[in-house]
Amino acid sequence: MPISNRRQVLVAGAALLALPRLAQAQMRNVVDTLAGDPRFNRFLEIIGRGGATDQFRGAGPMTLFAPTDAAFNGASAAMLQDLLAQGTGGSGGGTLSGASPDIVRLRSLIGYHVIPGIALTPEQMTGDRQMKTVAGGVLRIASQGGTIAVTNPAPERQSSTFGVGGLNVLPPAAVDGAPIIATNGIIYPVTQILLP
């Protein structure tokens, strides 16, 4: 067997050996895929605190615009603290201070990052379109020159607004990296938190 054919056989054999690992990696649902990627620790914490973990383990398809940890670092600390520690009191306690998160507002925030019923490929996000989210609000997805931007098109008129006092008027979040495929959807890393 000529050397070039042996190389092709070896390369093909190595690719076949890698298939089970690739299939295993792709056999995770959205929340388990997020948990396996260190860029999404803060968003995963928000999902857990909001009691929405099962939503991301359930049937899809869905498109998730997941803010990276860097997006949380650039967000309003006061707004995040308000969401995560809304109430104070007695024996409750989602935080060290004994405060509990505002579950309704957290779920609204989480749901505003999810488009249900479809796993949008980058090719399907060309042009300028608006899509309804799990939270009931609308996201604007605009693609131009290979950049995909996601924003709240009308923050003052969103039905799912959860009262962030005008903080939801933000520049578009950019999709920051390749889409991540999960068994029940597709995940796009984004550069900022999307506020309904």
- pLDDT per position as a tens digit, 82-110: 777 754 433 334 444 446 778 888 899 99
> What would the pLDDT profile of 43-85 be if each residue is shown by its tens digit?
999 999 999 999 999 888 999 999 999 999 988 888 788 777 7
Amino acid at 101: P
Confidence (pLDDT) at 156: 61
User: Reduced to 3 DSSP states, what percent helix, strand and coil does the chain have, rounded to the nearest 5?
Assistant: 40, 20, 40
Beta bridge partners, 174, equal 149
For residue 141 the two structure tokens come to 């997805």
User: How many angstroms separate the CA atoms of 127 and 20, rounded?
Assistant: 37
User: How many angstroms separate the CA atoms of 192 and 67, rounded?
Assistant: 6
For residue 97 the two structure tokens come to 């201070």
Name all domains of the chain by residue range, CATH numbers in brackets. Answer: 28-190 (2.30.180.10)
Which 8-state DSSP code applies to residue 87? Answer: B
For residue 176 the two structure tokens come to 């920051």
Specify whether the backbone of 111 is left (phi greater than 0), alpha (psi in -120 to 50) or beta: alpha
pTM of the model: 0.76
Q: Are 150 and 27 in contact (CB under 8 A)?
A: no
Mean of the per-residue pLDDT values of the chain: 79
User: How many angstroms separate the CA atoms of 58 and 196, rounded?
Assistant: 23
> What would the pLDDT profile of 145-179 be if each residue is shown by its tens digit?
889 999 988 766 555 555 444 445 567 899 999 99
R_g over Cα of the chain: 20
- 193 to each of 8, 58, 79, how far by Cα in Å? 46, 23, 11
Where is average pLDDT lowest: 2-11, 27-36, 93-102, 155-164? 2-11
**CA angle at 165 for the pair 153 and 46, rounded to the nearest 5°:** 80
Confidence (pLDDT) at 174: 95
